[in-house]
Structure 1
């Protein structure tokens, strides 16, 4: 009987050699870019990822990405741009960095800001509608009564002697409903207040990671939106957004739908302010 290592004992060494032979994430992306005939500038232009970050990722340096969530988004975007399947690369990245990051819940203070304007708008609109209905009903009632009492009122006005009592004239009756001419303004009907910037993010076509900050840089939300979910953010002057998969997102800014052709899997950094929607 021979003494030595069995074939099973040699398998860990074979697995280790295979792991070493497999290229890293950065080398795989760089080789795929070269095979596709693209330069770093071409990839940066197609993905909107800065040249310095593309070079760092190809060197397996993910520090400039600003965190694991951003790094995963950049890897996915660059891989698609160079025609490479991003799933194996993301699995290797997650295995080397402690797994996929969990979504961060929204801050309670942000939830309070988001709920208030949504409740205020419908109540004000209902009040304006009720006022208009009351005015219309009063005008109809006055016109109906005017046909019966008009002659009597004229006769009293012509035959009565001057007195201290106030005469009830048709002018007073017909003039009273004419005074209120208020109609609901755009700001009363619109859900978004005119003195603030309001951004609604809806995952209409799939799940996507999003990040939102106010004008002071305070984090409003950092996490995943499943398909069909939405979030609304509001600030006095500016909302900064990062969309992990912009192609799955539909945006509504200050009550207006943003018509933009975001590419699936693309990472977008956007800034919106008060007034007409403007991408920063």
Structure 2
């Protein structure tokens, strides 16, 4: 009985003959006549990340979810089918990652309507009318008592009336503010507020506050929305940016993101500007 390796151990592995993911992407880029800068510009993936992936270093991607998105984006840019490369990555890194549960969110604050103030002008006018009416009623009854003993041939004595003082001009009512179209249209001006909506496809998203606190890291399904808020800045990563509709500080961001594209964005107070 032999203690050494069996004949099966000496067989060449099929997987050993397959080029690495980084080598495949680098070779396809060279064949297409593209530079790293040109690939970075077309995919909006930063140059250091493109260089690291071509060296099979995925530590700069920020996790398996984003590494898979970068691989797919770069493969399409150099004319490769992304599915085999993504499957190879999953096989080499423990399979497809499962989404993590959502962390508590900072929901956008809604502006509460101010309580209605009492209309003191109307109350004052009503009080004056009541006092004048009571005085006129008293004078009318007193004059009627004297007329009961004296009758004039020409007819009844004219009634005495007291003219009413002119009512003070009422102040025009303050115009009511127009109701906002949504809670996002009334966001606080001293904070940065971001709303993400998955329109027609799911997307992996990550959101952090200015101090680095993780607000959310998980899957946003089609039809779902998430809203985040911070005093200074929000940092976002969109795994499938083309499926996301983005509102920043009440204003829709009109950037056209492609399906499967990975985006890293930062927003602060005021008009939205992509970081």
Q: Same fold (TM over 0.5)?
A: yes
- Partner of residue 258, structure 2: 263
Deviates more, 1:198-207 or 1:43-52: 43-52
Q: Residue 35 of structure 1 is aligned with which of 31, 35, 39?
A: 31
Q: Does 1:254 align with 2:231?
A: no
Q: TM-score, normalised by structure 1?
A: 0.72
Q: Which residue of 2 aligns with 1:202?
A: 197
**Offset, 1:183:** 3.0
Distance 1:79 1:188, change over 3 A: closer
What is the distance in 1 between the residues matched to 2:80 and 2:209?
Answer: 35
Contact 1:205–1:247 (CA under 8 A) maintained in structure 2 = no
State how far apart, in whole Å, the 1-side matches of 2:249 and 2:10 are: 60
Taking only aligned residues, the RMSD between alpha carbons, in angstroms, comes to 3.5
Which residues of structure 1 form unaligned runs of 5+?
Answer: 1-8, 162-166
Corresponding position of 1:273: 268
**Does structure 2 conserve the Cα–Cα contact (< 8 Å) formed by 1:79 and 1:86?**
yes
Residue in structure 1 matched with residue 107 of structure 2 by the alignment: 114
Q: Report the equivalent of 2:69.
A: 73
Give the C-alpha shift of residue 198 in structure 1.
0.9
Kindly indicate whether the alpha-carbon contact (under 8 Å) linking 2:103 and 2:217 is maintained by their aligned counterparts in 1: no
For 2:40, what is the secondary structure of its paired residue?
A: helix
- TM-score for both structures, normalised by structure 2: 0.73
Distance 2:89 2:235 in 1: 27
Q: 1:90 aligns with which of 65, 75, 86?
A: 86
Could you list the runs of 4 or more consecutive aligned residues of structure 1 that deviate by over 4 angstroms after TM superposition?
9-14, 185-189
The equivalent of 1:46 in structure 2 is 42
Moved more, 246-255 or 44-53: 44-53
Check if 1:19 corresponds to 2:6. Answer: no
Change (3 A) 1:56 1:278: closer
CA separation in 2, counterparts of 1:219 and 1:48?
24
- Work out which of the residue numbers 199, 207, 213 in structure 2 matches 1:212: 207
The 1:10–1:226 alpha-carbon spacing in structure 2 relative to 1, beyond 3 Å, is: farther
Partners of 2:77 and 2:8 lie apart in 1 by 37
Q: Point out the structure with max Rg over C-alpha.
A: 2
